[in-house]
């Protein structure tokens, strides 16, 4: 049966095109808070978080020797953050005596309290949660490490930063950090290369914004190609998928987009997440005007194969591709398989989709 982690990771991938970023300029800062932060990387000292209020749980005793700390940045408005929270809760339960998990939102106390004070989030968010409305902890960690998107988790042990990334991807490194087998030096080399690329991309935003305003999509594609060529190998696939999405939408170059998609497909035969992300984008995004359903079916089938037919989220995508291709009976069949494979927590949404298929209705595009 599929794990909730894999399903949430794939669901979160569907939001990649939305590029959910913090808008730092929207928050007032006083002169003291405008001091330049020290750059952060793997191995850097972890500053003591400056927390205003704990809304759930209590503030821990920070950075006890040998104990591991997960400091995760999120927001109530962030879809991928909400989708990650049940998995983070499972992590907190699993490592109850060895790992301290703290979720940090930069929203007002009332906003976070109202969100968490429901039966749903009492069950789904079972770890320490706090507010950082003056963004002091955000500056200590997110800005220092050049991290712009949420959710982002920082794993700390012996007051040193061991790992930084999406919380849905932290299971393996966290297990090694806990048992002492984590190779922080190796990961630092990868992280620093990716961070350098991220900083370069941040510097590009002004040029890309100007090109976008002018409708110069060729210039934007050229900049993306340069970034992909310079990127670490493990970062290339996700960047190529972003280019694929741009070509199918704003750039309005579907032929180029699907040609690139087939290149990505050929190079990622074992990467179910990438395959599923492309297939879902084609069949579901309202911004895609030229839907190549044949391509979507091929990508979805490849994702099913790569996941060994065990992932409910991919079967959900397969069902949608069948529906868009006109094979409604197959759509119902695949959706039933998705429901069967899903964990109980996710089955409800999939059952609602199944009802729509059985009633002759397709889910609305997003």
206-228 residue pLDDT tens: 888 899 999 999 999 999 999 89
203 found inside a domain: no
199 found inside a domain: no
Give the span between the Cα atoms of 15 and 33, in whole angstroms.
32
Confidence of residue 230 (pLDDT cuts 50, 70, 90): confident
57 found inside a domain: yes
Same domain, 56 and 152: yes
Confidence of residue 55 (pLDDT cuts 50, 70, 90): very high
Same domain, 51 and 177: yes
Last residue of one domain, picked from the residues 170, 189, 208: 189
Please tell me whether residue 117 adopts helix, strand or coil conformation.
Answer: coil
pLDDT in the model for residue 36: 63
- In terms of residue numbers, what domain contains 308? 217-358
Last residue of one domain, picked from the residues 169, 189, 209: 189
Cα–Cα distances in Å, from 263 out to 241, 294, 295, 360?
A: 10, 15, 12, 34
CATH classification at residue 271: 1.25.40.10
Last residue of one domain, picked from the residues 150, 171, 189: 189
Total domains in the chain come to 2
Same domain, 165 and 22: yes
Same domain, 179 and 243: no
210 found inside a domain: no
Compute the C-alpha angle 163/168/170, nearest 5°. 30
Same domain, 282 and 352: yes
Residue with tokens 């002759």: 360
364 found inside a domain: no
State the average pLDDT over residues 284-310: 96
**Average pLDDT over the chain, rounded to whole?**
88
201 found inside a domain: no
Q: What percent of the chain has pLDDT over 70?
A: 90
206 found inside a domain: no
Same domain, 228 and 166: no
Give the span between the Cα atoms of 244 and 256, in whole angstroms.
8
Same domain, 226 and 158: no
pLDDT surpasses 60 at 21? no
pLDDT surpasses 90 at 204? no
Same domain, 20 and 76: yes
Same domain, 32 and 138: yes
State the average pLDDT over residues 2-17: 39
Same domain, 314 and 352: yes
Same domain, 45 and 152: yes
CATH classification at residue 154: 3.40.30.10
Contacts of 290 (CB under 8 A, 6+ apart): 248, 254
DSSP state letters, 129-172: EEE-TT-HHHIIIIITTT--BSSEEEEEETTEEEEEE-GGG-HH
Q: How do residues 312-360 score in pLDDT, each as one tens digit?
A: 999 999 999 999 999 999 999 999 999 999 888 789 989 999 999 999 9
197 found inside a domain: no
Same domain, 166 and 243: no
């Amino acid at each position: 049966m599929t794990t909730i982690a894999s399903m949430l990771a794939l669901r979160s991938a569907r939001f990649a095109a939305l590029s959910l970023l913090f808008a730092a300029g929207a928050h007032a800062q006083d002169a003291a808070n405008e001091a330049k932060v020290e750059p952060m990387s793997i191995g850097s000292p972890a500053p003591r978080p400056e927390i205003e209020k704990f809304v759930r749980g209590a503030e821990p005793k920070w950075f006890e020797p040998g104990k591991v700390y997960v400091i995760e940045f999120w927001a109530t408005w962030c879809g991928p953050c909400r989708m990650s929270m049940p998995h983070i809760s499972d992590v907190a339960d699993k490592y109850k005596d060895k790992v301290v998990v703290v979720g940090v939102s930069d929203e007002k106390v009332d906003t976070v309290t109202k969100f968490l004070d429901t039966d749903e989030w009492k069950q789904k968010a079972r770890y320490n949660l706090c507010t950082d409305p003056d963004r002091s902890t955000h500056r200590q960690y997110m800005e220092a490490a050049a991290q712009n998107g949420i959710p982002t988790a920082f794993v700390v042990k012996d007051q040193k930063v061991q790992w930084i990334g999406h919380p849905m991807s932290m299971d393996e490194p966290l297990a090694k950090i806990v048992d002492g087998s984590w190779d922080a030096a190796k990961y630092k080399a990868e992280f620093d290369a990716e961070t350098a690329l991220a900083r370069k991309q941040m510097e590009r935003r002004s040029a890309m914004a100007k090109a976008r305003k002018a409708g110069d999509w060729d210039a934007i594609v050229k900049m993306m190609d340069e970034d992909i060529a310079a990127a670490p190998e493990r970062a290339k696939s996700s960047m190529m998928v972003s280019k694929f999405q741009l070509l199918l939408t704003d750039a309005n170059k579907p032929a180029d987009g699907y040609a690139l998609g087939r290149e990505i497909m050929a190079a990622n035969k074992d990467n179910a997440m990438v395959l599923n992300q492309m297939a879902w984008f084609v069949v579901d995004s309202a911004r895609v005007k030229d839907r190549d359903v044949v391509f979507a079916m091929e990508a979805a089938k490849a994702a099913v194969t790569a996941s060994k037919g065990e992932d409910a989220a991919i079967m959900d995508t397969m069902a949608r591709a069948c529906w868009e291709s006109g094979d409604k009976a197959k759509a119902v069949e695949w959706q039933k398989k998705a429901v069967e494979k899903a964990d109980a927590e996710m089955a409800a949404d999939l059952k609602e989709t199944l009802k729509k298929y059985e009633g002759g209705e397709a889910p609305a595009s997003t």
